Amino acid sequence: MSFIKRIGILCLFFSAGTCYGQEDLIGFLQPQISLNYSLTPLYAHNFSFTQRALFINPTNSGIGTIHLDLAHFSNFELPRQRSIGLGIMFRLREPFEGPDQNELRLTQQFNLLHRNHSIRFGHRFRTEQRILPSRTIHRFRYRFAADGPLQGEQLDPGELYWVGNLEALTSIGKGIRPIYDLRASAWFGFLANDMAKIQIGTEYRRVGLWLEGRPVIFLLSSLILNL
């Protein structure tokens, strides 16, 4: 195994290892089902359904589902491994958190990929408008990602792979103080065949940097289907 790949795998465990033992930690379970559908080689759709459930709560005020997300994303491929995308998401909160809590989210993004041997690197720039009943929050995000097979130089059906992400976010809005977040995630995946893969992972979030924000841990699972 190459030195670069060893460093990449070690970084995958950083997000999980730094969060345990913190007394104010909040924990969520987040399973997702995702469907990718390519209309042409240059244009593809993505549909996803996500549940988020609280399972670690230091305030002991209850655990269980807090919202459901239904999202659609359109991706347009550009030359030189670049792409742009537009998305819309509806977050259903009211059955779990009370009235006037639902959210409509609009997304715009630019993505750049490049490869170094078996490892693929990605840079994603994203803007979002979180439309809530009481206000609209504008969010700006940058994510650096890397992924690759655990064996060999190429990922084949029946093999495992890894994914690591590091993301910085800024949220601003009328009448609210800017909020800065940092996220680090690690995934391991299994490519069953050309039409399906399964991923499990963890994500560590520090919400509200410099505002005494609480650490948040996510235990993630994803089923990805390609048509």
- pLDDT (mean) for 90-106: 92
| C-alpha count within 13 angstroms, C-beta hemisphere, residue 17 | 6
What local confidence, expressed as pLDDT, does residue 211 receive? 67
| C-alpha count within 13 angstroms, C-beta hemisphere, residue 130 | 16
What local confidence, expressed as pLDDT, does residue 37 receive? 95
**How far apart are alpha carbons 120 and 163 in whole angstroms?**
9
Reported as a single tens digit per residue, the pLDDT across 25-72 is 889 999 999 999 999 999 999 999 999 999 888 776 667 899 999 999
Reported as a single tens digit per residue, the pLDDT across 112-124 is 999 988 899 999 9
Percent of the chain whose predicted confidence (pLDDT) is above 70: 87
The pTM of this model reads 0.87
User: 12 is written with which tokens?
Assistant: 């995958």
**How far apart are alpha carbons 155 and 149 in whole angstroms?**
5
| DSSP β-bridge partners for residue 89 | 71, 105
**How distant, in Å, are the alpha carbons of 17, 18, 81, 127, 160 from that of 226?**
32, 34, 20, 26, 17
